[in-house]
Amino acid sequence: MTRTLRTPQELVDAGLIAPAAASALEAVAARYSIAVTPAMAALIREAGAPIAAQYLPEPEELITAPHELEDPTADAPFTPIKGVVHRYPDRALLKPLLACPVYCRFCFRREAVGPDGGLLSEAELEAALDWFAETPAVREVILTGGDPLMLSPRRLGRILARLAAIPHIETLRIHSRVPVADPGRITPGMLAALTLDRPLYLCVHANHAAEFTPEAAAGLRGLHAAGLVLLGQSVLLRGVNDSEAALEALFRAMLRHRVKPYYLHQLDPAPGTARFHVPVEEGLALLRALRGRVTGLAWPSYVQEQPAGAGKMPLGMAGMRGGAGQAREAV
Ligand SMILES: *Cc1c(COP(=O)(O)O)cnc(C)c1O
Ligand code: SF4
């Protein structure tokens, strides 16, 4: 198989969902994009449920639970210009496109992402780059989307070079699922585009140890050799990584591939994602069980997006400091 699967029928034809399920999923597909790369289709066959749950649509995605929100990120009030989100003084997001290699069923931006939306026009991109040049308080640009590594190396390289030439931009960061979900995109051309004079942090989104396939490992080795600093971000997900063993395996797999776990996100309440919800108390108990036993390098910050755009908040650390008795409350 060489093509990304994008419809319920294609998922049936690939043997990933039952033929009887297809018709009920057409309505889901009409609302939320579907994409399963060849690499992830192969991994679903090999590793089963924890990968399948992340990418295969389910009928209950059309049910919005009472606590779920259309726009859990509440980015709109923090958008000074199209494609930019400036919520914190020293850093801002640049979203050059809204396409992704895969469409994760739990995505907090699921109402916005998709294969044919959100590519900034040349003029919009120029205006966004000008905004960064004219905003000296911003020292860090975080490219996200969508997935910036879906851009051609040429276009991405041009954006990075323009940003790196702004004197007050000290660091650049890219958030991406490509290294695990579509590792074939990490080509020599992509590595060349990512080789910069400025520190470039790549925050790799991965939720399960099995995602670190030999192909992903090769890409990550190349990215590290190109001078990028690799960080990991994960979402705590029911049925994917909601056990002590799964989280330990995930964080250890990251470290073996030179990826430092950075954030473990509490699931944002996007519509139709209730099946993935793990209560915060359970997440805290899972992390507490790892503390002390597993190297501190494996330790991410467990964070939750606050309502109404109030930003990320580290979740209660009380009792998680290795039993020294210095219970510290959430910062
Ligand atoms: C998450 C986020 C960032 C990055 O936050 P860090 O804590 O620096 O990783 C920046 N801007 C917005 C709007 C965000 O949601
Ligand atoms: S890759 Fe990221 S932005 Fe895209 S669907 Fe998955 S979680 Fe959402």
Q: What is the pLDDT of residues 255-293, one digit of tens each?
A: 999 999 999 999 999 999 999 999 999 999 999 999 989
What atom of ligand 2 comes closest to residue 146's alpha carbon?
3
- The ligand that comes nearest to the alpha carbon of residue 73 is 1
Residue owning the nearest CA to atom 3 of ligand 2: 146
**3-state SS, residue 11:** helix
Interatomic CA distance for residues 10 and 29, integer angstroms? 12
Q: Is the pLDDT of residue 150 over 50?
A: yes
- The pLDDT value recorded for residue 317 is 61
Q: Which residues contact 235 (CB under 8 A, 6 or more apart)?
A: 106, 207, 264, 265, 266, 267, 276
Q: Predicted confidence band at 1 (pLDDT cuts at 50, 70, 90)?
A: low
pLDDT tens by residue, 36-80? 999 999 999 999 999 999 999 999 999 998 888 777 777 888 999
Q: Is the pLDDT of residue 127 over 70?
A: yes
103 Cα distance to chain centroid: 10
Average pLDDT over residues 95-113: 96
Encoded tokens for 105 = 């069923």
Number of neighbouring beta carbons within 10 Å of residue 28: 18
- Sequence ranges of the domains in the chain: 65-314
Average pLDDT over residues 170-198: 98
Core vs surface per residue 290-299: b (16+ CB within 10 A) or e = bbeebeeebb
- The ligand that comes nearest to the alpha carbon of residue 265 is 1
pLDDT tens by residue, 210-263? 999 999 999 999 999 999 999 999 999 999 999 999 999 999 999 999 999 999
Encoded tokens for 245 = 């063993």
Q: Which residues contact 177 (CB under 8 A, 6 or more apart)?
A: 100, 101, 102, 104, 147, 204, 205, 206
Residue whose structure tokens are 């020294």: 324
Regarding the beta carbon of 138 and ligand 1, being less than 6 Å apart is answered no
Q: Predicted confidence band at 318 (pLDDT cuts at 50, 70, 90)?
A: low
Average pLDDT over residues 90-109: 97
Residue whose structure tokens are 């755009």: 309
Interatomic CA distance for residues 36 and 56, integer angstroms? 8
Q: Is the pLDDT of residue 331 over 60?
A: no
- The pLDDT value recorded for residue 326 is 34
- The pLDDT value recorded for residue 118 is 84
- The pLDDT value recorded for residue 320 is 46
What atom of ligand 1 comes closest to residue 303's alpha carbon?
7
Residue owning the nearest CA to atom 8 of ligand 2: 107
- Region label for 258, one of left (φ > 0), alpha (ψ between -120 and 50) or beta (otherwise): left
Give the percent of the chain with pLDDT over 70: 95
Interatomic CA distance for residues 69 and 154, integer angstroms? 37
How far, in Å, is the centroid of ligand 1 from the Cα of 231?
14
Interatomic CA distance for residues 83 and 93, integer angstroms? 8
Q: Where are the alpha helices (DSSP H) in the chain?
A: 8-13, 22-31, 38-47, 49-55, 122-133, 153-164, 178-181, 188-194, 214-225, 244-256, 280-290
- Please tell me the pTM assigned to this model: 0.94
Q: Is the pLDDT of residue 121 over 50?
A: yes
The CATH number assigned to the domain with range 65-314 reads: 3.20.20.70
Pairing, β 84-88 against β 91-94: antiparallel
Q: Is the pLDDT of residue 191 over 90?
A: yes
Interatomic CA distance for residues 114 and 117, integer angstroms? 6
